[in-house]
C-alpha cells in the first residue's frame, strides 16, 4: 500500500539561500577550484571563471529553479508534468541517476576528508614523512576508507531522514555559517604566513599570456560543475520553494556565495603553498591530501599547536562543504523514491543510503584490491566519475537550457522568474537569449573538451 507523505517547504528566505548554496558549495569549491587555478595560471583563470559563472551558471540555475518550483515535484516527475508523454522526461531520469552515481563516489572522497580531519587533530599530519606514500597506503587499505565513508554516509542519512525543514533547512542554517566562519579565520591565518605576498600576487595579478582556449574551457567547466548544475539537486530543492521565493535573486545569491567560498579557498591554500620551498601551486588533485599535509608539517613544525588548529579547521571546512553537497545529492534521489514508490521518508532514505554505500565500497576498493578490475580501461571510481562529470552532467545542462529556452512556453518561464509579474526582471530577454543560444554552445564546447580534450 502506498503511503503519501505531505510535501514540506522551506520555511524562510534564509533557509532557501543557505540550503541551495550548501548544495552548490562542496569539494568542487575547496578542492577542485584551487587545483584548476593552480593548473591554469592563477588570476586570469579566476576572472574568466567569474564571467562564466554569470554568463553560464546563473541562467542554468534559474532554469532549474523555475522547473522545480513550478511543478513542486521530484526531478523526474517535474519533467513529466511539464512535457507529458515527451522524451524530455529522460533528462529527469538522468538528473536523479547522476546524483545517485556521484553520491556513491563522493562519499568515498568525503570519507578521506573525515579521516584526514581525525589525523590532523591527532597530530598525524605533522610528522615528517612521504605524504604521497601515506595517502596511497591509506586509500588502498581494504577496510579503513570504507569505515570512514560509511560514517560520512550515516552523517548524511541522519540529516536527510529528518526531512526538509527539520533536516536540510535546519542543518544548512548551522553548517553554512560555520563554514563561512572557518573560511574567514583560515584566510586571516594564511595571510600571516611568510609566502602570503607571493600567493596573493598569484591570485590577484592576471597574466593573460597564459590564457588559451583550454583555460577558457576549463573555467567554463569549473563554473558548471562547481554550482552543482544538472544533478537534479537544485531542481529538487526548488520544488520546496514557496510561491513568494524570488528565483532570480536566489540564483544570484547562491552563485555569489559559491564563488565567494571558491575564491577564498584559494586565499587559504596558495599563501600557505608559497610559504614552503619546492612546492608548486599546480600539484593537481593531490593538492589537498598530499601537498597540504606537507605544507602544514613544514610551516608549523616548531609550533605544533597552531598546526593542529590550522589543519584541523581546514579539513573541518572540507568536511562541512562535502556534507552540504552530499545532503542535496541524497535528497534528489530520496525525493524521487518517496514520490514514485509512495513509501515513508525513513525507508526511502535508508534504501538510498545503503545502495549508494554498496557502490561506494566498489569505488573505495578500486584504489586497492580491485584496482586491476576495469571497465573500458577505467576502475569503478574512474568509470563513475567519467560517466557523471564528462557525459551525463554536460549533456543534462544542455538539455535543461533547450527545454527552458525552446520547449517551455515563454509566458510560463516569465511568470516563474517574476513571480507572476510582481518581481521585476528587466534582463528577461537577455536570459532567454543566453539559454537559447550562448549557454548551449558553451556547454557543447565543454562537453567536447571533456571527451576529446
**What is the domain partition of the chain in residue ranges?**
13-452
Q: What is the pLDDT of residue 198?
A: 86
| Sequence-ordered list of residues with C-beta below 8 angstroms from that of 194, at least 6 positions apart, any chain | 275
56 burial level (CB within 10 Å; 0-12, 13-18, 19+): buried
Q: Report how far residue 292's alpha carbon sits from residue 309's, in angstroms, rounded to the nearest whole number.
A: 14
In tens, the pLDDT along 219-252 reads: 887 887 788 888 889 999 999 999 999 999 999 9
- Residue 84: alpha-carbon gap to chain centroid: 30
Cβ density class 437-451: b for 16+ within 10 Å, e for less: eebbebbebbbebbe
**378: DSSP letter:** B
Angle among Cα 369, 360, 396 to the nearest 5 degrees reads: 125
Among 15, 443, 4, CA closest to 241: 15
13-452: CATH topology: Amino acid/polyamine transporter I (1.20.1740)
Q: Report how far residue 316's alpha carbon sits from residue 183's, in angstroms, rounded to the nearest whole number.
A: 10
What mean pLDDT value characterizes the chain? 90
Q: Report how far residue 71's alpha carbon sits from residue 82's, in angstroms, rounded to the nearest whole number.
A: 8
Q: What is the pLDDT of residue 228?
A: 82
- 446 with 221: CB under 8 angstroms? yes
In tens, the pLDDT along 96-120 reads: 999 999 999 999 999 999 999 999 9
In tens, the pLDDT along 34-85 reads: 878 887 878 889 999 999 999 999 999 999 999 999 999 999 999 999 999 8
| Sequence-ordered list of residues with C-beta below 8 angstroms from that of 410, at least 6 positions apart, any chain | 432
Q: What is the pLDDT of residue 389?
A: 83
Angle among Cα 429, 431, 437 to the nearest 5 degrees reads: 100
pLDDT greater than 90 at residue 175:
yes
Among 195, 367, 260, 266, CA closest to 31: 266
pLDDT greater than 70 at residue 5:
no
Instruction: Compare 228 and 324 and report the one with higher pLDDT.
Output: 324
Q: Report how far residue 48's alpha carbon sits from residue 179's, in angstroms, rounded to the nearest whole number.
A: 25
Percent of the chain having pLDDT more than 90? Answer: 63
- 81 with 407: CB under 8 angstroms? no
Angle among Cα 369, 372, 378 to the nearest 5 degrees reads: 120
**287: DSSP letter:** G
Helix (H, G, I), strand (E, B) or coil at 426: coil
- 40 with 210: CB under 8 angstroms? yes
Place of cell 511568470: 415
Confidence of residue 1 (pLDDT cuts 50, 70, 90): very low
177 burial level (CB within 10 Å; 0-12, 13-18, 19+): exposed
Whole-structure pTM value: 0.93
Amino acid at each position: 500500500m502506498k503511503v503519501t507523505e505531505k510535501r514540506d517547504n522551506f520555511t524562510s528566505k534564509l533557509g532557501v539561500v543557505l540550503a541551495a548554496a550548501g548544495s552548490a558549495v562542496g569539494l568542487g569549491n575547496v578542492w577542485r577550484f584551487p587545483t584548476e587555478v593552480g593548473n591554469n595560471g592563477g588570476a586570469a583563470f579566476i576572472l574568466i571563471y567569474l564571467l562564466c559563472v554569470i554568463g553560464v551558471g546563473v541562467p542554468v540555475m534559474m532554469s532549474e529553479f523555475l522547473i522545480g518550483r513550478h511543478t513542486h515535484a521530484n526531478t523526474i516527475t517535474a519533467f513529466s508534468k511539464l512535457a507529458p508523454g515527451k522524451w524530455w522526461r529522460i533528462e529527469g531520469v538522468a538528473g536523479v541517476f547522476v546524483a545517485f552515481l556521484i553520491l556513491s563516489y563522493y562519499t568515498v572522497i568525503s570519507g578521506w576528508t573525515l579521516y584526514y580531519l581525525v589525523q590532523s587533530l591527532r597530530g598525524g599530519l605533522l610528522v615528517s614523512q612521504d605524504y604521497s606514500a601515506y595517502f596511497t597506503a591509506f586509500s588502498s587499505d581494504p577496510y579503513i576508507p570504507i569505515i570512514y565513508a560509511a560514517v560520512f554516509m550515516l552523517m548524511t542519512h541522519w540529516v536527510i531522514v529528518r526531512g526538509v525543514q527539520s533536516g536540510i533547512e535546519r542543518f544548512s542554517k548551522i553548517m553554512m555559517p560555520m563554514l563561512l566562519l572557518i573560511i574567514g579565520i583560515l584566510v586571516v591565518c594564511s595571510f600571516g604566513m611568510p609566502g602570503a605576498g607571493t600567493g596573493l600576487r598569484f591570485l590577484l595579478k592576471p597574466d593573460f599570456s597564459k590564457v588559451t582556449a583550454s583555460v577558457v574551457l576549463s573555467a567554463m567547466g569549473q563554473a558548471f560543475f562547481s554550482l552543482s548544475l544538472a544533478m537534479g539537486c537544485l531542481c529538487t530543492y526548488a520544488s520546496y520553494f514557496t510561491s513568494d521565493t524570488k528565483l532570480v535573486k536566489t540564483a544570484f545569491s547562491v552563485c555569489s556565495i559559491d564563488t565567494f567560498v571558491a575564491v577564498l579557498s584559494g586565499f587559504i591554500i596558495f599563501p600557505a603553498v608559497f610559504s614552503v620551498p619546492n612546492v608548486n601551486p599546480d600539484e593537481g588533485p593531490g593538492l589537498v591530501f598530499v601537498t597540504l599535509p606537507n605544507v602544514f608539517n613544514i610551516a608549523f613544525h616548531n609550533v605544533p599547536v597552531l598546526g593542529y588548529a590550522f589543519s584541523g579547521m581546514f579539513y573541518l571546512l572540507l568536511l562541512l562543504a562535502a556534507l552540504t553537497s552530499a545532503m542535496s545529492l541524497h535528497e534528489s534521489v530520496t525525493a524521487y523514491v518517496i514520490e514514485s514508490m509512495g513509501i515513508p521518508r525513513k525507508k526511502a532514505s535508508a534504501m538510498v543510503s545503503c545502495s549508494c554505500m554498496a557502490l561506494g565500497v566498489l569505488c573505495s576498493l578500486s584504489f586497492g584490491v580491485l584496482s586491476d578490475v576495469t571497465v573500458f580501461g577505467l576502475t569503478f571510481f574512474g568509470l563513475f566519475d567519467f560517466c557523471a562529470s564528462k557525459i551525463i552532467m554536460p549533456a543534462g545542462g544542455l538539455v535543461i537550457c533547450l527545454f527552458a529556452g525552446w520547449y517551455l512556453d515563454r509566458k510560463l518561464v516569465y511568470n516563474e522568474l517574476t513571480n507572476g509579474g510582481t518581481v521585476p526582471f528587466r534582463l528577461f530577454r537577455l536570459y532567454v537569449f543566453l539559454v537559447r543560444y550562448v549557454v548551449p554552445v558553451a556547454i557543447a564546447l565543454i562537453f567536447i573538451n571533456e571527451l576529446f580534450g
